[in-house]
Amino acid sequence: MAASTSGVYVSVIEDVINKVREEFLNNGPGEDVLKELQGTWEAKTVQAGVVNNPIERSAAKGTPGSGVTPVHDLNVPYEGTEEYETPTAEMLFPPTPLQTPIPATPIPTPLPGTGDNMYNIPTGGSEYSANESGSSNGGVNAELKAGRSGPYMQPPSAWMNQRPPLDVNIAYVEGRDEADRGASHQPPTQDFFQMNSGKRKREDFPAQYQAGGYLPQQDGAGDAAPEIFEIEVSEGSSSIASRAWSEMLTRVRSSTLKIPQLDGPIPDPYDELSTPNIYNYQGAFNEDYNVASTPAPHDIPVSTPAPVVQNDVGDDDDDEPPLNENDDDELDDVDQGDELNTAHLVLAQFDKVTRTKSKWKCTLKDGIMHINNKDILFNKATGEFEF
Amino acid sequence: MATFELYRRSTIGMCLTETLDEMVQSGTLSPDLAIQVLTQFDKSMTEALETQVKSKVTIKGHLHTYRFCDNVWTFILQDALFKNEDSQENVGRVKIVACDSKLLTQ
């Protein structure tokens, strides 16, 4: 049984490697990295005891592959900035590249969800943005939006990463920067601070203007920014009514601002892309109230309800976590107590599950069982349980 | 072809995930490509189980917990007995996670 499991695993590894080879060769890091992947993967499965050590040819590859690994680790960051950049953005990027090519409006809805998870993790960002926006605007608005500007701050950093793709140092600093937000213990460099200050200014705009302020961000250039910034400041100190009015203003101005923006980046394609990007930014940034924001980002009413909804969400968050946490704890106690330690696990598909009184019957198929440190595969399994 | 990410939790899947993780961390691999590899693993693993595995297993035990959520059954068995043609295993506590097979055939 174990032998056949090993055989299946080896064939799966080879199948996967063969089928992603094209991708590795065409757009990716190439054959060497693919071999490294295969080597490490195989080595790990051998180590885990689920693949027999003498893998036909795979065993031969395994050893050199894992030997090569450290060499690549050292070289790659030097050679390719892109490579270094990519993992930096790992946490943040996946949404962004997807967003850019896809102009469809409906997509922002799922994106906020993903963005939400990713951006919420480094909660440190929100404190830090609260300070910023507080210092720049000092209004109630700033406080309300501080929570949002936190998560929102990171997408621009992703853009920042994209812009200086040729400069290793900048990409590297960016990475640290993001890491710092999650857990601020690294004492990075002056570059880091400079980068941040640049970002903060730009990010503050959208935080204030949900609809109007996006265009300047995308440009990333300082040109359009100052104008909006002024508006913002005045807005921050003014009443809600005047805020609505000034948002109107910016919206009007934003249409005129579009022209300089278009000049900045790539002219034609960017023009089309810019609109969805705006929406997406908003999506990532509006996660808390995506319902309101997604359908009509440019409508005036949206901006008004948005903060309200956000407040509600905030209240809910305050109320719910204790309940949820307790629930989880109870479950975890039951589930994890013995389970995760021993970690006997069956992964399968079910065809049918039935119950008669306290007798459960189920038919499973295509399963992988990890029991008593052995992996056992099955095509079919029948279970009879007593509850 | 639709696939489950279920098998990523298997030993071979965890080994792959770890490997990809390390390579992405070190900058050797882009996250996008890593995801593609994982997706391919989902397909290859499912296919291999369908085509290469013929064995049958019977499971008996005391059902401690059952849960059906998002088309996924989770059973926690106590004192479970796993039998196949050539061996049998006793386990004090085991978790079974099963996705709906109909979702794949659709």
User: Which CATH number is A351's domain given?
Assistant: 2.30.18.10
Residues A108 and A216 in one domain: yes
Q: What is the CATH number of the domain that holds B32?
A: 1.10.287.190
Identity of the highest mean pLDDT range in A88-97, A261-270, A299-308, A348-357: A348-357
Looking at CA atoms only, how far is residue B105 from chain A in angstroms?
11
Domain encompassing residue A381: 342-387
User: Which chain B residues are Cβ-neighbours of A7 within 8 angstroms?
Assistant: 52
Are B32 and A94 a contacting pair at CB < 8 A? yes
Q: Strand A374-386 to strand B56-69: parallel, antiparallel, or no bridges (unpaired)? A: parallel
pLDDT at A87 over 50: no
User: With pLDDT > 70 as the criterion, what percentage of chain A qualifies?
Assistant: 24
Structure tokens at A289: 């109230």
Q: A3 pLDDT exceeds 90?
A: no
3-state DSSP assignment of residue B93 = strand
pLDDT greater than 90 at residue B58:
yes
For residues A312-332, give the mean pLDDT: 53
Residue to mutate among A350, A353, A360, A380, with most B CBs inside 10 A, is A350
Please, what sign has the CA dihedral across residues A261, A265, A270, A271? positive
What are phi and psi for residue B99, nearest 5 degrees? -90, 160
Angle between helices A2-26 and A31-48 (to 10 degrees): 160
Structure tokens at A260: 């300089």
Return the top range by mean pLDDT from A119-128, A303-312, A323-332, B34-43. Answer: B34-43
Question: What is the pLDDT, as a whole number, of residue A262?
Answer: 53
Which two tokens mark A261?
Answer: 């923006």
For an interface test with B, the pick among A4, A6, A16 (most B C-beta atoms closer than 10 Å) comes out as A16
**B48 and B13, same domain (yes or no):** yes
- Residue A272: inside a domain: yes
A351: confidence class by pLDDT, cuts 50, 70, 90: very high
Pick the last residue of a domain from A79, A113, A128. Answer: A79
Give A274→chain B minimum CA distance, Å: 23
- Is A13 in Cβ contact with B18 (below 8 Å)? no
Contact B47 A15 (CB under 8 A): yes
| A168-208 residue pLDDT tens | 555 554 444 444 444 444 444 445 554 444 445 444 444 44
B62 and B35 in a single domain? The answer is no
Among A269, A297, A325, residue at a domain's last position: A297
End-to-end CA distance of chain B: 9
Structure ipTM: 0.93
- With respect to residue B16, please indicate whether it lies within any of the assigned structural domains: yes
Q: Are B68 and A332 in contact (CB under 8 A)?
A: no
* A104 and A71 co-located in one domain: no
Total domain count, chain B = 2
Residue B51, chain A, CB below 8 Å: the answer is: no
Any domain includes A321 = no
Asked if A162 and A264 sit in the same domain, the reply is: yes
User: Rg (Cα) of chain B, in Å, rounded?
Assistant: 17
> Same domain, yes or no, for B39 and B70?
no
Average pLDDT over residues A366-381: 90
Q: Which residues of A touch B95 (CB under 8 A)?
A: 335, 339, 344-346
Cross-chain residue pair A387–B63, CB shorter than 8 Å = yes
**A309 pLDDT higher than 70:** no
Mean pLDDT of chain A: 57
Rounded mean pLDDT of A123-146? 42
A249 and A353 housed in the same domain: no
Is the same domain home to A208 and A229? yes
Q: Per mean pLDDT, which range of A69-73, A169-173, B19-23, B95-99 is the poorest?
A: A69-73
Tokens representing residue A131 in the block: 């300070």
Nearest residue, CB atoms, A8 vs list B33, B52, B62: B52
Residue A50 domain flag: yes
- Residue pLDDT, tens place only, A265-304: 554 544 444 444 444 444 444 444 444 444 444 444 444 4
pLDDT score, position A52: 75
| Least confident stretch, A229-243, B55-69, B73-87 | A229-243
Please check the confidence at residue B90 and state whether its pLDDT lies above 70.
Answer: yes
The average confidence (pLDDT) of chain B is 90
Nearest-angstrom CA–CA distance, A105 and A306? 18
Is the residue at A40 inside a domain? yes
Residues A160 and A253 in one domain: yes
Asked whether residue B92 is assigned to any structural domain, the reply reads: yes
Asked if residue B1 is part of any domain, the answer here is: no
- As a three-state string, the secondary structure of chain A is CHHHHHHHHHHHHHHHHHHHHHHHHHCCCCHHHHHHHHHHHHHHHHHHCCCCCCCCCHHHHHHHHHHHHHHHHHHHHHHCHHHHHHHHHHHCCCHHHHHCCCCCCCCCCHHHHHHHHHHHCCCHHHHHHHHHHHHHHCCHHHHHHHHHHHHHHHHHHHHHHHCCCCCHHHHHHHHHHHHHHHCCCCCCCHHHHHHHHHHHHHHHHHHHCCCCCHHHHHHCCCCCHHHHHHHHHHHHHCCHHHHHHHHHHHHHHHHHHHHHHHHCCCHHHHHHHHHHHHHHHHHHHHHHHHHHHCCCCCCHHHHCHHHHHHHHHHHHHHHHHHHHHHHHHHHHHHHHHHHHHHCCEEEEEEEEEEEECCEEEEEEEEEEEEECCEEEEEEEEEEEEEC
Q: Are residues A288 and A353 in the same domain?
A: no
Task: Calculate mean pLDDT across residues B31-54.
Answer: 91
Q: What H or E segment, with its residue span, contains residue B11?
A: helix B11-26
Does residue A8 share a domain with residue A140?
no
Distance (Å) of CA A375 to CA A1, A57, A344, B78: 9, 22, 10, 19
What token pair was written down for A152?
């929102």
For A349, which of B65, B92, B104 is closest by C-beta distance? Answer: B104
Residues B70 and B40 occupy one common structural domain: no
CB A204 within 8 A of CB A228: no
The Cα of A335 is separated from the nearest Cα of chain B by a number of Å equal to: 8
pLDDT the model gives residue A280: 43
Q: Quote the percentage of chain A above a pLDDT of 90.
A: 13
Residue A308, in any domain of the structure: no
Q: Are residues B37 and B15 in the same domain?
A: yes
The per-type count for chain B, helices as H runs and strands as E runs, is 3, 3
* Stretch B54-80: mean pLDDT: 93
Instruction: For residue B45, give how far its alpha carbon lies from the nearest alpha carbon of chain A (Å).
Output: 6
pLDDT attached to residue A51? 80
**Is residue B12 domain-shared with residue B34, that is, in the same domain?**
yes
Residue A72 and residue A205 in one domain: no
Q: What is the nearest CA distance from A353 to chain B, expressed in angstroms? A: 9
Both B85 and B101 in one domain: the answer is yes
Q: Which structural domain, as residue segments, surrounds residue B65?
A: 58-105
Mean pLDDT of A30-58: 81
Q: Residue B68: pLDDT above 90?
A: yes
Q: Å from B3 to nearest chain A CA?
A: 11
For residue B4, the chain A residues in CB contact (below 8 A) are 349
Task: Tell me if A319 is assigned to some domain.
Answer: no
Binning pLDDT at 50, 70 and 90, where does residue A253 land?
low
The pLDDT value recorded for residue B98 is 94
What local confidence, expressed as pLDDT, does residue A265 receive? Answer: 52
Q: Are B84 and B63 within one domain?
A: yes
A384 vs B59: CB contact, 8 Å cut-off? yes
Locate B53 and state its tokens: 């595995």
Top pLDDT among B91 and A340 is at B91
B48 at interface of A, judged by CB pairs closer than 8 A: yes
What's the rounded Cα separation, in Å, for the pair A174 and A126? 17
Domain-embedded: residue A166: yes
Within-domain flag for B18:
yes
Please state whether A49 falls in left (phi above 0), alpha (psi between -120 and 50) or beta: left
Instruction: Give pLDDT, residue A99.
Output: 46
Residue from B29, B39, B46, B86 to probe the interface with A (highest A Cβ count within 10 Å): B29
What's the domain count of chain A? Answer: 3
In chain B, what residues touch A387 (CB-CB under 8 Å)? 62-63, 66
Whether B36 maps to a domain, the answer reads: yes
Distance from CA of B2 to the nearest CA of A (A): 13
Same domain, B46 and B66: no
The predicted structure's pLDDT at residue A55: 63
Based on the fold, state whether residues A96 and A170 are members of the same structural domain: yes
Q: Which residue of B has its CA nearest to A343?
A: B94
* Interchain contact B38–A (C-beta under 8 A): no
Give the per-residue pLDDT at A318: 56
Burial class of residue A126 in the structure, from the number of CB atoms within 10 Å of its CB (0-12 exposed, 13-18 middle, 19+ buried): buried
Domain co-membership, A101 together with A42 = no
Contact between chains at B31 and A94 (C-beta distance less than 8 A): yes
Asked whether residue B46 falls in the same domain as residue B69, the answer is no
Task: Judge if A42 and A113 occupy the same domain.
Answer: no
The CATH number for B75's domain is 2.30.18.10
